[in-house]
Structure 1
Amino acid sequence: MDRQPCVYLLASGRNGTLYLGVTSNLVQRVWQHRTSAVDGFSARYTIHHLVWFELHETMASAIGREKRIKKWNRAWKIRLIDETNSSWRDLWPDITEQVPTANVLGFPPSRE
């Protein structure tokens, strides 16, 4: 999942506050949200659960999709999540399953 254009939705909980974003490194960006490494909306409102994401071939298509979804009303965004993740399960374990811990931040693996 490293360097893959992606649109994603985070939530503070089921039907909670939502955050929509776009990135080329989903694992690193979600880690930043989860740890509040970057000040901003998601840190302020404790929005740390990855509940939906969509991979794209190009960053331009991901940005275009993000802009379209941002215009949607809340009910449509909730329906988008419910279609693929009806339990609103945090998808963080799914995206980090095959990524060595040291690589989450983009650092080379340690030599322990």
Structure 2
Amino acid sequence: MYIYILTNPARTVLYTGVTNDLERRLHEHSQNLGEAGRFTSRYQCNLLVYFEACATSQQAIIREKEIKGWSRAKKETLIARLNPTWIAIDLETWDGGTES
């Protein structure tokens, strides 16, 4: 299970979600599918800037709710720890946030 955070090109909107298949879910967001697709489409929020894995769906849901309850500043700090430059994460090439 994964918790993930998406943003828009201007980095003004943050969307936090949970999924058991991150690649599939990112595709759904990019194609504006499902309930969450409406929000991410409306705010052009389709750039993955953060994700983390959880062992169980229960842990993932608890963590998602925790993050959703945080202030914008706390979410920004979380993102910056994994992805200091807030680059859009490509799951196929992501190196864990280290520069080559």
RMSD of Structure 2 on Structure 1 (CA): 1.3
Query: Are 2:33 and 1:33 equivalent residues in the alignment?
Result: no
User: Which residue in the other structure is 1:76 paired with?
Assistant: 74
Would you say the 8 A contact 1:22–1:62 is kept in 2?
Answer: yes
Max Rg structure:
1
Determine helix, strand or coil for the equivalent of 1:65. helix
Aligned mates of 2:32, 2:92 — CA distance in 1: 18
**Can you list the C-alpha shifts for 1:52-92, whole angstroms capped at 9, x where unaligned?**
0000110100000001111101100011111110111111x
Describe the shift of the 1:14–1:78 C-alpha distance in structure 2 as closer, same or farther (beyond 3 A).
farther
Match of 2:13, as an amino acid? T
Aligned match of 1:59 in 57, 65, 76? 57
User: Which residue in the other structure is 2:15 paired with?
Assistant: 19
Determine helix, strand or coil for the equivalent of 2:12. coil
Q: Structure 2 unaligned runs (5+)?
A: 94-100
Aligned mates of 2:28, 2:92 — CA distance in 1: 14
Q: Tell me the TM-score normalised to structure 1 length.
A: 0.75
Describe the shift of the 1:76–1:85 C-alpha distance in structure 2 as closer, same or farther (beyond 3 A).
same
Moved runs in structure 1, 4+ residues, more than 3 A?
A: none
Q: Structure 1 unaligned runs (5+)?
A: 98-112
Q: Tell me the TM-score normalised to structure 2 length.
A: 0.84
**How much identity, in percent, do the aligned residues show?**
36
